[in-house]
Amino acid sequence: MLIEPLDITPAGEDKSTFVEAMAKHLDISTRNIATIGDMRNDLAMFAKSGLSFAMGNAEDNVKAQATCVTGSNENDGFAEAVDQILAIDSR
């Protein structure tokens, strides 16, 4: 049995809304925000952020719309994304 996660957001909003809110709060461009995800509901924030990472376990269409693809959740893909973000930030 496949269990789909439940994502609840206010009407008319999606994960890109958070990217925009964080950019405003930090007084930076949304292009200076990196996002990490593995589901179709992450595509809106991928489109809004400057750098996006899809986990290796994501569907192919999610991977295709991300800037980078890391290992799966089970293979430290999140940590890999964070390492890449920190490497970029230290330049």
DSSP letter (8 states) at residue 32: G
CA dihedral 51, 76, 44, 88 (to 10 degrees): -10
Q: Would you state the pLDDT for residue 10?
A: 81
Q: Would you state the pLDDT for residue 3?
A: 72
- pLDDT values of the chain reduced to their tens digit, one per residue, 91 residues: 667 667 777 888 899 999 999 999 999 999 999 999 999 999 999 999 999 999 999 999 999 999 999 999 899 999 999 999 999 877 7
Quick one: which H or E segment has residue 69? strand 68-69
- Domains of the chain and CATH, by start: 15-89 (3.40.50.1000)
Alpha helix (H) residue ranges in 1-91:
15-26, 43-48, 60-64, 77-89
